[in-house]
Amino acid sequence: MVTVIRQSHARRWMGTFAICVVTLGAAWVTGSWSADAADKKAPAGKKTATEKSTDDAPEAKLDKKSVEKKTADKKPAKKAEKPAESKEGESKEAAPAEAAAKPIQLKEPYSTGASGSIAETVAFINEKVRLGWTENNIEPSAVAEDGEWLRRVYLDIVGHVPPVEEVDAFIADKDKAKRALMIDQLLDDPGYVRSWTTNWTNLLIGRGGGGANMGGPQRRAALMKFLREGFAKNLPWDKIVYDLVSAEGRYDENGAVNFLMAHLNDGQVPATAITAKLFLGLQVQCTQCHNHPFNDWKQNQFWEYNSIFKQCRENVVQKYDEKTGRMVFDYAELVPQTFEGPVYFEPRNGLMKVAYPRYEEHEIDPGPDTNRRKEFAKLITTGEKTQLADAMVNRMWGHFFGYGFTKPVDDMGPHNLASHPELLEKLGTDFVKAKYDLKQLIRWICNSEAYQLTSKMTPKNEIDNPANGERPKFTHMYVKSMTAEQLYDSLIIATNAHKSGRSNWEQAETQRRMWMQQFVLAFGTDENDESTTFNGTIPQALMMMNGELVANAINANKGSYLNTVLSDKGNEATKLRELYMSALSRQPTSKEIAAAKSLVKKAKTPIEGYQDLFWALLNSNEFIFNH
């Protein structure tokens, strides 16, 4: 177990850490959370008290019953060992075996209240997911409490946790269609545009500011502007992809060119690999040097793709800066260059071969008058069933559930069969029929029964654990790590800093990007890969424990969120609930309230006690993970 000690508060770390321990029955202890631990330590079906305070007597009874149930569950295990040694025991063992083979009985699917064509597609999703449950004889977990679900859908659609007032209003709302209405509300929220702009900017060019190319930050900003306008107007996905693949012009006049300009190094090899990976869900980079070992992809196919990108190059223009006496970046542009015929590549036998531009069975004219990228863009966006649509459906499903129909989501093909092939095919076809409407695709996924389930596993579905290599069955929500951007924005929301109005879009993006740079690691691979150390490693842990962002979050100075909470009228329990609702979107249990009161009482001053509590909540895995 990782020991967490807040700077300058080491003498009170035991009290602070205790708050983490009681959170969700010790399932969310900082640095030690796992899905298995959650199952073992939090009894299946136990409420998290999102709709009422667990200070009440009924909650205390629930805890007692849970303890009694655990004790009762242990007794049959001992009895089962004795019958195995006798003939009577052999007959007794047959009954459990027959019971295990008995088909499960599923309840009616939970409905979010979605209607019309959305309901029809959602019903098909539910049917195919449920078929996987019955075929594997496993039962789904319970439907998530409103607070848990609202936190999840906020993070997935707008990229941050919900404000306290939104949680209170949603829990109090009695409308049976409130979940469907909330999905629509979030899709119309400015946060949707901001979050998906960030997601796709990171996928297209990484977090490193536009690559090592001159004018990187300016290029990143221009690409974000292009994406922001696309998501704000809800442009069809095929239109966005067509523009990215076929773009030409200056970086600041056509932001789409910044995608390819970031990947034209090394003979356009990175551009070839990342285009196939992001838009088609195909990992062709390994066939650059040899045939694919697990599917029918041949080496020549990589170079056929690569020849498509040979007709463009980057042109960087500099200007003289009188102040510094140096040449500085003026602008960059993606310009055409003359290229005709094939590309040449060398297989392992050393005999040079040629590859002409081609996509699947479609040959592209290799002549100098053909714009290969535009022809390629037309091919991948045309048809009633396209690889482009299937790849986006798979990627989006993976975004919302933590796992797509294939693992990973960008490695599709006969060597990596989908967990739900009929569902993937149907959603891909419907996505094309819906004119590549991204918001409609999100509505289908977020209104599905599987998306409504809690993240807590039960003994009846514990085999559904893709982390162990199993194909996902979607009997419960899989826990996902927050991205660094989600955590940054959630800390701002949880502390009400978003209400200060001190920064506009550009200022906020600049501040967030500066914060991100401390976690970015770049790699010189065939895809210009980068990674982050934001995955539970020491840099992240230190930042969360002692970083400036968290220090500001728990600041008790006048005007801060913590100061506001402590200044409001209400008893101690009310203030504690406010902090829990702000950080975790739920009310504390009776045990947590008791532990928190003890912590505040033992602190040097009440303010320091509340600071320690809020610090512990923001450092807990229940806050850092999306569940």
**Minimum mean pLDDT among 152-156, 173-177, 253-257, 483-487: which range?**
483-487
Query: What is the CA angle 158-162-168, rounded to 5?
Result: 145
The arithmetic mean of pLDDT across residues 139-161, rounded, is 97
* Alpha carbon distances (Å) from 294 to 269, 287, 303, 405, 515: 21, 11, 19, 18, 41
- Decide if pLDDT at 25 tops 50: no
- Decide if pLDDT at 203 tops 70: yes
Q: Which two tokens stand for residue 222?
A: 């221009």
The arithmetic mean of pLDDT across residues 437-466, rounded, is 97
pLDDT of amino acid 528:
52
- Per-residue pLDDT band for 17 (boundaries 50, 70, 90) equals very low
Q: Is 186 in contact with 154 (CB distance < 8 Å)?
A: yes
* Alpha carbon distances (Å) from 611 to 221, 296, 605: 37, 59, 10
The arithmetic mean of pLDDT across residues 542-552, rounded, is 77
Q: Is 582 in contact with 494 (CB distance < 8 Å)?
A: yes
Half-sphere exposure of 589 (CA within 13 A, CB side): 20
The secondary structure of 185-231, three-state, reads HHHCCHHHHHHHHHHHHHHHHCCCCCCCCCCHHHHHHHHHHHHHHHH
3-state secondary structure of 332: strand
| Residue 68 per-residue DSSP state | H
Q: Is 493 in contact with 430 (CB distance < 8 Å)?
A: no
Q: What is the DSSP string of 414-431?
A: TTB--SSHHHHHHHHHHH
Condensed to tens digits (0 to 9), the pLDDT of residues 389-436 reads 999 999 999 999 999 999 999 999 888 999 999 999 999 999 999 999
Rounded CA gap, 131 and 137, in Å? 10
The arithmetic mean of pLDDT across residues 66-78, rounded, is 40
Q: Which two tokens stand for residue 422?
A: 């009929």
What percent of the chain is predicted at pLDDT more than 70?
A: 74
- Per-residue pLDDT band for 113 (boundaries 50, 70, 90) equals very high
pLDDT of amino acid 560:
78
More confident residue, 8 or 124: 124
H or E element in which residue 400 lies: helix 387-401
- Decide if pLDDT at 21 tops 90: no
The arithmetic mean of pLDDT across residues 350-363, rounded, is 89
The arithmetic mean of pLDDT across residues 594-613, rounded, is 91
- Per-residue pLDDT band for 105 (boundaries 50, 70, 90) equals confident
For 267, left (φ over 0), alpha (ψ -120 to 50), or beta?
left
Look at residues 344, 447, 349, 441 and name the one whose alpha carbon lies nearest to residue 391: 441
- Per-residue pLDDT band for 86 (boundaries 50, 70, 90) equals very low
For the stretch 539-571, what's the b/e string if a residue is b when 16 or more beta carbons lie within 10 angstroms of its beta carbon? ebbebbbebebbeebbbbeeebbbeebbeeeee
CA dihedral (200, 204, 206, 208) in degrees, to 10, reads -110
Look at residues 354, 232, 355, 346 and name the one whose alpha carbon lies nearest to residue 290: 346
pLDDT of amino acid 30:
30
pLDDT of amino acid 386:
97
The arithmetic mean of pLDDT across residues 452-472, rounded, is 95
- The size of the chain, in residues, is 627
Q: How many CB atoms lie within 10 A of CB 245?
A: 22
Rounded CA gap, 90 and 16, in Å? 52
More confident residue, 621 or 505: 621
pLDDT of amino acid 343:
85
Look at residues 623, 610, 550 and name the one whose alpha carbon lies nearest to residue 574: 610
3-state secondary structure of 602: helix
Condensed to tens digits (0 to 9), the pLDDT of residues 532-544 reads 556 666 777 777 7
The arithmetic mean of pLDDT across residues 99-127, rounded, is 88
- Decide if pLDDT at 79 tops 50: no
Helix count and strand count (H, E) for the chain: 27, 11
CA dihedral (559, 560, 562, 565) in degrees, to 10, reads 40
Rounded CA gap, 406 and 414, in Å? 11
Q: How many CB atoms lie within 10 A of CB 291?
A: 16
- Per-residue pLDDT band for 499 (boundaries 50, 70, 90) equals low
pLDDT of amino acid 504:
59
- Per-residue pLDDT band for 552 (boundaries 50, 70, 90) equals confident
pLDDT of amino acid 47:
40
**Residues near 348 by beta carbon (within 8 Å), at least 6 away in sequence:** 289, 290
Q: Is 520 in contact with 526 (CB distance < 8 Å)?
A: no
Rounded CA gap, 254 and 558, in Å? 46
Rounded CA gap, 249 and 512, in Å? 29
Give the β-pairing of 480-481 and 362-363. unpaired
- Per-residue pLDDT band for 38 (boundaries 50, 70, 90) equals very low
pLDDT of amino acid 284:
77
**Minimum mean pLDDT among 59-73, 117-131, 319-333, 449-463: which range?**
59-73
Give the relative orientation of helices 572-584 and 590-602 as an angle to the nearest 10 degrees. Answer: 110
pLDDT of amino acid 553:
78
Q: How many CB atoms lie within 10 A of CB 275?
A: 28
What percent of the chain is predicted at pLDDT more than 90?
A: 57
pLDDT of amino acid 151:
98
- Share the mean pLDDT of the chain: 81
- Decide if pLDDT at 292 tops 80: no
Look at residues 264, 235, 269, 266 and name the one whose alpha carbon lies nearest to residue 248: 264
Q: Which two tokens stand for residue 377?
A: 């863009």
Which residue's entry shows tokens 């040629």? 354
